[in-house]
Amino acid sequence: MKILALNASPNKDGLTAACVEALLSGAQEAGAEVELVHLKDLTLEVCRACDRGWGICRSEGRCVIADDFEALRQRIFAADAWVLSTPVYFGEPSEIARVVLDRLRRTNSGPNGGQLRGKDFVGVMCAGGSGRGVGPCADVLERISSHVGARVADLIGVTRRNKLYQVDALKAAGRALVEQPWEE
């Protein structure tokens, strides 16, 4: 099994990165091949909403923007499961996470979409401050994963208050992705 994880934080050594690394360590312990992509290392542009919002992303399932998105999308398609670990800003995923999610939604919603249908997805939301933004952020991730047909395996909220014990939950979630496949 191959699991691709996306770190949507500008920090490679902060809470968001540590959380996704904990999940990947659990998956690796269970025998998965894992890959971590730091989105800040990629060139990713905001969707241009071509042709009144439904350009070739809808008709052909691809984006006209020549950046790193298409290669990333193909890596997501090639994985058996994918993880997005994002800091929570104002109850939302980070800006770079939104860029990826918005473009995935557009390129995967037309007649040529469906590559993510049934693919396991784990969302990890890391909130500082009060932690109250985790719930609204989880709603966004669940809604977008539904739009692209991904199967939500878990949505894990991490706050300053629960981070000590959530590390164990993240490792367990990584193991579960490998050891507890969905029964159809």
Domain presence at residue 117: yes
Q: What percent of the chain has pLDDT over 70?
A: 97
What is the 3-state secondary structure of the chain?
A: CEEEEEECCCCCCCHHHHHHHHHHHHHHHCCCEEEEEEHHHCCCCCCCCCHHHCCHHHHCCCCCCCCCHHHHHHHHHHCCEEEEEEEEECCEECHHHHHHHHHHHHHCCCCCCCCCCCCEEEEEEEECCCCCCHHHHHHHHHHHHHHHCCEEEEEEEEECCCHHHHHHHHHHHHHHHHHCCCCC
Per-residue model confidence (pLDDT) at position 183 = 64
Looking at the structure of the chain, the number of domains it has is 1
Residue 129 pLDDT level (bands cut at 50, 70, 90): confident
CATH number of the domain residue 113 falls in: 3.40.50.360
pTM given for the model: 0.94
Domain that holds residue 55: 2-179
Helix axes 134-148, 95-107, angle to 10 degrees: 20
pLDDT of amino acid 162: 94
Mean pLDDT value of segment 40-60:
89
Are 150 and 1 in contact, with CB atoms under 8 Å apart?
A: no
In a domain, 63, yes or no: yes
| Position 74 pLDDT exceeds 70 | yes
On whether residue 112 sits in a domain, the answer given is yes
pLDDT greater than 80 at residue 53: no
